[in-house]
């Protein structure tokens, strides 16, 4: 499997891990767009939101729960933060392994796209 994020999960590619459990891994983005920029990913390889099945929906809820908790731990929850998932080419998805961005620590752009 040559997926970058699967290699991060297996430890082949080093990363700055901030949280993990059986289902998800959270680590700092290598090219942060904000003072806090963490990626929350499922440990199972799911290519994108578009390919999510109905039984995988609870996983999204869990990813959001983990991101919300990390936002508190990173001290950005009170001032606010953004959770974002890119999907496909027009959505700006570069890595084809589902990931939730947690961005915070500065006033983010009003534009989403």
Point out the residues that are catalytic.
99
In sequence order, what DSSP letters do the residues of 48-90 get, joined into one string?
A: -GGG--GGGHHHHHHHHHHHHHHHHHTT-TTT-EEEE---TTT
The contact set with ligand 5GP (CB under 6 A) reads: 4, 13, 15, 27-31, 39, 86, 92-95
Q: Which of 8, 97, 100, 102 is close enough to bind Zn ion by CB under 5 A?
A: 97
Minimum gap (Å) between residue 108 Cβ and Zn ion: 27
- Only segment of 4-12, 18-26, 57-65, 104-112 that touches Zn ion (CB under 5 A): 4-12
């Amino acid at each position: 499997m040559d997926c970058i994020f699967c290699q991060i999960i297996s430890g082949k590619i080093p990363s700055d891990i901030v949280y993990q459990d059986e289902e998800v891994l959270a680590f700092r983005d290598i090219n942060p767009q904000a003072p806090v920029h963490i990626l929350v990913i499922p440990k199972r390889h799911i290519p994108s939101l578009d390919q999510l099945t109905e039984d995988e929906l609870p996983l999204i809820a869990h990813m959001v729960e983990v991101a919300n908790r990390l936002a508190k731990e990173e001290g950005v929850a009170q001032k606010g933060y953004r959770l974002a998932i890119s999907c496909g080419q027009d959505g700006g998805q570069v890595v084809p392994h589902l990931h939730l961005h947690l961005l915070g620590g500065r006033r983010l752009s009003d534009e989403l796209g």
